Structure 1
């Protein structure tokens, strides 16, 4: 429930300082005339800045309020007030080029983008699948739009939060919060965009989930990650008291005693399955957990920095294959992996694991608490978000190679384009 993604999510304009800085003032990008030298980043990065999104490219800094990025970072969809209505447009994160702005009737905020990056679900208030529970309400208005304008208007009876789209774009996955006026739990459903009616998902055997067997979750959605082939969305959930999976409800078996699992959502076949994580995952702070996926999509890694536990999940078997331990840490967890290595950051420490043996290979300190990890395309540089700055390091030795000031930096999200 998203690239994660995580996949985020963005409200106020932030102006970055420095030469070559670009910002969106209203709807038009402008560049700072500050003559102070700016640091050149080797790779373009997508970042969260306060409540907006930013693209850091070379010495340029582009900030975009009220926005959401595609899972691959190639595009950003932005909104801005336009009288009583909303201006809506798409920005190419590689070139900075924008689509023609279209007007959406009323005030809307972007909440979910399709895996292929062409459709956006917007709501009348800011909600998010991994940002806590929404306020109570009887009806949820949802707008489906693309660069040509409004495609669908939904007025869903109940309390819903858009999550992502089906691969064929005919359906919208949502979290339905129950009870609608005083929500304390939620279930995943899919809205048919032709009929505008929400319904249950399917089981892995492609049978509709029967009435009474839909999972209802009460915990925290921590992070969402989209598979490289864009067909599966993985969402990490923690703190699930007395949770019972659909498979247990159908079979009549008792509920599990686990406190964390990875919710696996197939965007093509519309089925969901939960991969249980072993003790003590889910018992400590949700923010201490982090998830990432291997470049080939074959392995998921979940780290709990508070307990030091790491789990490797086979995405083909949908089971935990191996576990390992790291030194315990504090703070918000972040993770990124390539074919052979897993990097885990929390507090002021980054640790590198060797995936052949799933063991600790190295660790190094950084100046301030970690706010995101991103590997360069060639894997030689590890970008580390910190307080108002991004540093980049030799991924083998940890040696700091450079550092750029980024005022208001909240998180380093990924590569831009």
Structure 2
């Protein structure tokens, strides 16, 4: 039974952030046909701040340094140093409840959380599956914990970065970087928590990958999204010169993918890559973005540099359609989807795409460059992250509905947990 301490949301801000959560005040109203609520975000949002993860809920602001969230934003694990040890606890973002703090021997940082929020994988270095190449090393310490304390501790021979837990919590998917001391490529493996041994994944037919046929990747892990049913993790990779998928290595066919979506089944432990056509992967990785439909049936990949969008069926794992929506744009790309529309942000422009027709709809400008897009659960608002601010708009017309200042905002990641 998880021990929890019930506190008010205001109190928990001070408790969780150590020095206290920053109360970010002030409203920066823009002209609108509707009044903007003063400093009140209509949907709870999970954001990245320059001081760590953050939760915006109404007028409250919560900053959580040294933390990692579940993919759906319902729970966050946080750590803080305490002498030679580390204290760790879990925050329920829907209620503000915090679990009792547990002490972990040594210094640890959280890296990956199970989809149900009950387990966290920690390492001694700040790394993630999409944060780039780790420093060289011969061994990797990994700790698995929950709200009661340490569950497993490993000293893995090699250079590993935790990515996700298996659905049954019996395994941990990791990126193994090669060679360990001077890494320039990586492969996805699964660490069996019982045998304490990392090994290959399965193929899509649920058979073990043959020796010598494990994919080794050299590209950039740009973005990952979890299917709504929590069974599949989709990761967008770009810049893969000379890369060969497992299916190519098994068949002997040549491969040279510049971008693809790595599909990782968390239940059956298989992986499959959906290649993206030209021009995906030719331009900067930062210009690419990935969004999944609320029902999980469709993935959309956008490349804002070329103005191209690709539609992937998650059932068939094939690219069904592509379209060119607008002239090329420089800058970081962002994407989000509701039931009928895809939203694409780059620079100071937000564009809508009709999903049925896969063609461009309305476009509107915002004050500063976009740093994230999040659709509300009911589809009536689109939240747009910007420089030190979040605004929310009518998704059909772009009409400004409200805006609030958020000093230190790096990116709007998604919705936080809902009661």
**Common fold by TM > 0.5:** yes
Task: Give the alignment of 1:351-370 within 5 angstroms.
Answer: 351-370=351-370
1:41, distance to aligned residue in structure 2 (A): 1.2
Q: 1:25 to 1:251 in 2, by over 3 A?
A: closer
1:271 corresponds in structure 2 to 270
| Superposition RMSD in Å | 1.9
Matched, 1:303 2:310: no
C-alpha distance after superposition, 1:330-363 (max 9, x if no partner): 2111100112100000100000001111000110
Task: Give the alignment of 1:313-392 within 5 angstroms.
Answer: 313-327=312-326, 328-392=328-392
Question: For 2:410 and 2:158, how far apart are their aligned partners in 1?
Answer: 32
Stretches of structure 2 that go unaligned for 5 or more consecutive residues are: 1-9, 28-36
Task: Give the alignment of 1:1-12 within 5 angstroms.
Answer: none
Matched, 1:207 2:207: yes
1:5 corresponds in structure 2 to none
1:230 corresponds in structure 2 to 230
1:89 corresponds in structure 2 to 89
TM-score, reference length from structure 1 = 0.92
1:278, distance to aligned residue in structure 2 (A): 0.2
1:42, distance to aligned residue in structure 2 (A): 1.0
Q: 1:301 to 1:108 in 2, by over 3 A?
A: same
Task: Give the alignment of 1:60-79 within 5 angstroms.
Answer: 60-79=60-79
State whether residues 24 and 62 of structure 1, in contact with CA within 8 Å, keep that contact through their aligned partners in structure 2: no
C-alpha distance after superposition, 1:243-266 (max 9, x if no partner): 0000010111112x3200000001
1:190, distance to aligned residue in structure 2 (A): 0.3
C-alpha distance after superposition, 1:78-127 (max 9, x if no partner): 00011111010011112211000000000000000111111100000111
SS of residue in 2 equivalent to 1:250: helix
Question: For 2:11 and 2:199, how far apart are their aligned partners in 1?
Answer: 49
C-alpha distance after superposition, 1:215-268 (max 9, x if no partner): 00000000001000111000000000100000010111112x320000000111
Question: For 1:360 and 1:322, how far apart are their aligned partners in 2?
Answer: 14
State whether residues 352 and 362 of structure 2, in contact with CA within 8 Å, keep that contact through their aligned partners in structure 1: yes
SS of residue in 2 equivalent to 1:247: helix
Stretches of structure 1 that go unaligned for 5 or more consecutive residues are: 1-18
Matched, 1:153 2:153: yes
Task: Give the alignment of 1:108-187 within 5 angstroms.
Answer: 108-187=108-187
State whether residues 20 and 33 of structure 1, in contact with CA within 8 Å, keep that contact through their aligned partners in structure 2: no
Q: 1:372 to 1:24 in 2, by over 3 A?
A: farther
State whether residues 389 and 409 of structure 1, in contact with CA within 8 Å, keep that contact through their aligned partners in structure 2: yes
TM-score, reference length from structure 2 = 0.92
1:3 corresponds in structure 2 to none
